Structure 1
Amino acid sequence: MKLLRVGTAGAERPALLDAEGTLRDLSGIVTDVDGALLADPAALDRVRSAAASGELPVLVAEGLRVGPPVGRIGKVVCIGLNYHDHAAETGATPPAEPVIFFKAADTVVGPEDTVLVPRKSVKTDWEVELAIVIGHTARYLESDEEALAHVAGYAVSHDVSEREFQIERGGTWDKGKNCETFNPLGPWLVTPDEVPDPQALSLKLWVNGELKQDGTTAQQIFPVAEVVRYVSQFMTLYPGDVINTGTPAGVAMGQPEPKPYLRAGDVVELEIEGLGRQRQELKDA
Structure 2
Amino acid sequence: MNMLIEGWQTLEPKMRDAAHSTGIPRSRVTFRAPQPRPSKILAAPVNHGPHREEMIAAGAFSDVPGTIEKYVAFLKAPSSVVGPDEAIRLPDPRRRVDHEAELGVVIGTRAKNTSRGDALSHVFGYLALIDVTMRGDEDRSYRKSFDTFTPLGPAIVTADEIPDPSILNLRLSVNGDLRQDGQVADLIYDVAQLIEVYSEAMTLNPGDIIASGTPNGVGPLTPGDTVTLAVSQLPPLTIAVRASKATIPATADLAAL
Q: 1:57 to 1:119 in 2, by over 3 A?
A: same
What are structure 1's unaligned runs of at least 5 residues? 1-33, 253-260
Matched residue SS, 2:27: coil
**TM-score, with structure 2 as normaliser:** 0.86
Could you tell me the TM-score, scaled by structure 1's length?
0.78
Note the residue ranges of structure 2 that are not aligned, 5 or more in a row.
Answer: 245-257
Paired position in structure 2 for 1:61: 26
- Note closer, same or farther for the CA distance 1:121–1:156 as it changes in structure 2 (3 Å cut): farther
2:249 aligned partner? none
Q: Does 1:228 align with 2:200?
A: no
Counterpart amino acid of residue 217 in structure 1: V
* 2:235 matched residue in structure 1: 276
2:160 alignment partner AA: D
Alignment of 1:1-285 (within 5 A): 34-40=1-7, 41-51=9-19, 54=20, 56-91=21-56, 92=61, 93-94=64-65, 95=67, 96=69, 99-144=72-117, 146-164=118-136, 168-169=137-138, 172-252=139-219, 261-285=220-244
Out of 266-275 and 234-243, give the one that drifted further: 266-275
* Cα displacement string for residues 177-219 of structure 1 (whole angstroms, at most 9, x for unaligned residues): 0111000000111001111220011100111211100111011
Aligned residues: 235
Deviates more, 1:178-187 or 1:67-76: 67-76
The alpha-carbon deviation at position 284 of structure 1 amounts to 1.1
1:90 CA displacement: 0.8
Identity of aligned residues (%): 36
Question: Secondary structure of the residue that 1:80 maps to in structure 2?
Answer: coil
Cα separation, 2, equivalents of 1:272 and 1:100:
23
CA distance in 2, matches of 1:214, 1:137: 32
Q: Structure 2 vs 1, CA of residues 222 and 97 (structure 1 numbering), >3 Å: closer, same or farther? A: farther
Higher helix share: 2
1:142 shift after superposition: 2.1
Following the alignment from structure 2 to structure 1, what is the Cα–Cα distance between the partners of residues 34 and 41?
14
Residue pair 1:81, 1:99 contacting (<8 A) in 2 also: no
SS of the residue corresponding to residue 138 of structure 1 reads coil
Distance 1:143 1:278 in 2: 29
4+ aligned runs moved over 4 Å, structure 1: none
